[in-house]
Amino acid sequence: MITIRKINKSELRRLLRIRKSKKKYFVHPYVWRRKRIRERWRKPRGIDNKIRMQFKEYPPLVKIGYRGPKAVRYLHPSGKEEVLVYNIQDLYNIDPQTQVVRIARTVGIKKRLRIINFANKFGIRVLNLGRAEAYIGLGEEEVEETEETELEEEAVEETFDETMEEL
């Protein structure tokens, strides 16, 4: 867990603004010349690489100076600490004033709904509602029913397709 230094709101906003202004878009060397290269950062290693040699006309090289202020490092843009959650028990240790929740990607829809409902009850902000947005407000029984009806609709469509092929 990251320890957050106690700073006032105006100082926090100022530091977040600094972090945002320092953020650069670093690209793979010569991505503009080749289609097969994806736009992600790779360290330039060539002996004659112009980016490695930091020539003027070329994109910036990743350097320590682009790093954000230490007080706001690893924080969400809202200024709160992100906490990864796998189940409802993880929510018991969350402070809604200084932390926000991100539900792990491996959590299923039923447990995701339980986590979201619990978080809403206690005023905890959830960053990624994901596919649960469609099911918010439904009970667990209704979620199971909607999943079953979706499966039934797919089966009906398959049988319709098969009968159309026979004709």
Residue 3 confidence (pLDDT) above 70: no
Residue 164 predicted with pLDDT over 60:
no
How many domains is the chain built from?
Answer: 2
Name the nearest CA neighbour of 80 among 160, 12, 161, 157.
12
This prediction's pTM: 0.61
Stretch 44-71: mean pLDDT, rounded? 88
State the Cα angle at 37 between 59 and 57, rounded to 5°: 15
158 in Cβ contact with 164 (< 8 Å): no
Does one domain contain both 138 and 84? yes
Is the model more confident about 166 or about 74? 74
Q: Are residues 78 and 132 in the same domain?
A: yes
Task: Verify that 61 and 100 share a domain, yes or no.
Answer: no
Host domain of residue 15: 7-69
Same structural domain, 97 and 136: yes
Q: Is residue 167 part of a domain?
A: no
Contacts of 123 by beta carbon, 8 Å cutoff, 6+ apart:
96
- Asked if residue 148 belongs to a domain, the reply is no
pLDDT exceeds 90 at position 48? yes
Residues 109, 88 share a domain: yes
Q: Is 101 exposed, middle or buried (0-12, 13-18, 19+ CB in 10 A)?
A: buried
Residue 12 lies in a domain: yes
Most confident option among 26-35, 45-54, 147-156: 45-54
107 and 59, same structural domain?
A: no
Q: Indicate if the pLDDT at residue 45 is higher than 80.
A: yes
